[in-house]
Amino acid sequence: MTILEQMLEGTKSVAILGHVRPDGDCLGSALGLYNYLRLNHPDIRAAVYLEESSPKFNYLKGYDKIRHQVDDAYYELCVCLDSGDIQRLGDFKHYLDQADKSLCLDHHVTNTRYGGTNVVPDEASSTCEVLFEQLDEEKIDRHTAECLYTGIIHDTGVFKFSCTSAHTMEIAGKLMEKGIDFGAIIDNSFYRKTYIQNQILGRALLESITFFDGRCIFSAIRQSEMEFYGVDGKDMDGIIDQLRLTEGVEVAIFIYETGAQEFKVSMRSRYLVDVSRIAAFFGGGGHVRAAGCTMSGSIHDVINNLSVHIAGQLDAVPDGQK
């Protein structure tokens, strides 16, 4: 019996939480657990609480059932998914504070183990991979499989990132056997973009700047530009990953303005730099090769502050490994 199954025994109500600005792995794990409970534990009252997310994920069963506002409901068990610390839960940490017991399922190396019980294997590709190990494989239906597969492809970059393991591929294969349309999931949730999203991607690439002799690249989008194109943070998916693919680049940085002198920062690295350490220094977190945080100041201030930490790690690399 898994830890999750043990904690579900005798439980009558479950709140399912994820991080602010939910991505594919956050949504996939939250809705994957929700659908699994609805199918196999119909006596448990379960609800998902998340901020609004990109409509490209509306094919996931239960997407329209997600609650976007804090209410006065009480839940005996709170399951926190894909969130490295309490602050990343946003206003919904209210349910964690009130619950009798809590379980944190995650894979971020920067996770603070804030749950009453924590299952955080940081070698896992995604929280959906962690969740799969907590479920009874025989009781996973197509809808739950679609959710879990979505999370895995998004956190592995469709199996390209270094977090992908043979075990990840094995799990993906088992999910495919549940009858999911894996090709459509990849195309519609990972690659397909609206015309406006392509425009903002083009703008970000056109105005990108390299530094450190081409080993780093950054691009920034201001609020005024977001308003001009009619986009928000949910439309920025894929920009950082495209910057990462620039030839010769070790570290890619993408920032967009979320408020006056406030920026959401995303970082990716190829081989040498641990961006999770940099993000953690500025109050964020993530993975060795993919991390993020929120920073204040001008664009110049943000890039300069990040550059100091990037340079420190690059300088520490032995010449033979550069």
What is the rounded CA–CA span in Å between residue 28 and residue 102? Answer: 20
Q: Is residue 262 part of a domain?
A: yes
pLDDT at residue 80 greater than cutoff 80: yes
**C-alpha pair distances (Å), 136 with each of 38, 133, 204:** 14, 8, 43
Domain span at residue 263?
195-315
Mark which of 149, 171, 191 sits at the end of a domain: 191
Phi and psi, residue 155, nearest 5°: -85, -10
pLDDT tier at 316, thresholds 50, 70, 90: confident
Q: What percent of the chain has pLDDT over 90?
A: 94
Q: Is residue 240 part of a domain?
A: yes
Mark which of 162, 191, 220 sits at the end of a domain: 191
Q: pLDDT (tens digit, 9 = 90+) per residue, 163-193?
A: 999 999 999 999 999 999 999 999 999 999 9
Q: Is residue 322 part of a domain?
A: no
Domain CATH for 39: 3.90.1640.10
Q: Is residue 320 part of a domain?
A: no
Q: Examine the domain organization and report whether 199 and 186 are in the same domain.
A: no
Domain CATH for 310: 3.10.310.30
Q: Examine the domain organization and report whether 199 and 187 are in the same domain.
A: no
Q: Examine the domain organization and report whether 157 and 302 are in the same domain.
A: no
Residue 158 CB contacts under 8 Å (≥ 6 apart), including other chains: 186, 190
In the chain, the number of structural domains is 2
Q: What is the mean pLDDT of residues 3-32?
A: 97
Mark which of 127, 156, 191 sits at the end of a domain: 191
DSSP codes joined into one string, 140-167: --HHHHHHHHHHHHHHHTTTTSTT--HH
Per-residue confidence (pLDDT) for residue 320, from 0 to 100: 62
Residue 72 CB contacts under 8 Å (≥ 6 apart), including other chains: none
Per-residue confidence (pLDDT) for residue 39, from 0 to 100: 98
Q: Is residue 156 part of a domain?
A: yes
Q: Examine the domain organization and report whether 231 and 183 are in the same domain.
A: no
Q: pLDDT (tens digit, 9 = 90+) per residue, 280-300?
A: 999 998 889 999 999 999 999
Q: Examine the domain organization and report whether 108 and 23 are in the same domain.
A: yes
